Amino acid sequence: MKKKTNMLLTTTNNIEGRIITEYKALVTGETIIGANIFKDFFAGIRDIVGGRAASYENVLREAKDTAISEMIERARSYGADAIIGIDLDYETLGEKNGMMMVTACGTAVKLN
């Protein structure tokens, strides 16, 4: 999957047609969504259409995009061309699970 960043991103451990010449580093990006988003979500229950909460999904998508962007910046700092084996994780944190952390991690590599 090619992003506008020119960094090649994939959940697989290789890239068809490309040779990995160097494994640079494990790279991560993290974002934490505060408790207010959950309160806003329940207050805005009217946004639910067809069983889906569009505003909540948009916030989660934005958090995921931020985590991926941070991961890309870290990979760039190592001189990487791509990130392979990307994994996204969503965890609840804090007292009464009032926060959510989105983490993206993968292996920064150099390609031939």
Which residue range is the domain that position 60 belongs to? 8-111
**Would 63 be classed as within a structural domain?**
yes
CATH number at residue 54: 3.30.110.70
Does the structure show a pLDDT above 90 at 42? no
**Would 1 be classed as within a structural domain?**
no
**Would 3 be classed as within a structural domain?**
no
Distance CA 52, CA 45 (A): 10
**Would 46 be classed as within a structural domain?**
yes
**Would 69 be classed as within a structural domain?**
yes
Half-sphere exposure of 87 (CA within 13 A, CB side): 9
pLDDT at 89: 96
Does the structure show a pLDDT above 90 at 96? no
Distance CA 35, CA 100 (A): 8
**Would 2 be classed as within a structural domain?**
no
Indicate the pLDDT class of residue 44, thresholds 50, 70 and 90: low
Number of domains into which the chain is organized: 1
**Would 53 be classed as within a structural domain?**
yes
pLDDT at 48: 54
pLDDT at 2: 42
**Would 101 be classed as within a structural domain?**
yes
Distance CA 61, CA 97 (A): 19
Please give the model's pTM, rounded to 2 decimal places: 0.79
Residue 51 amino acid letter: G
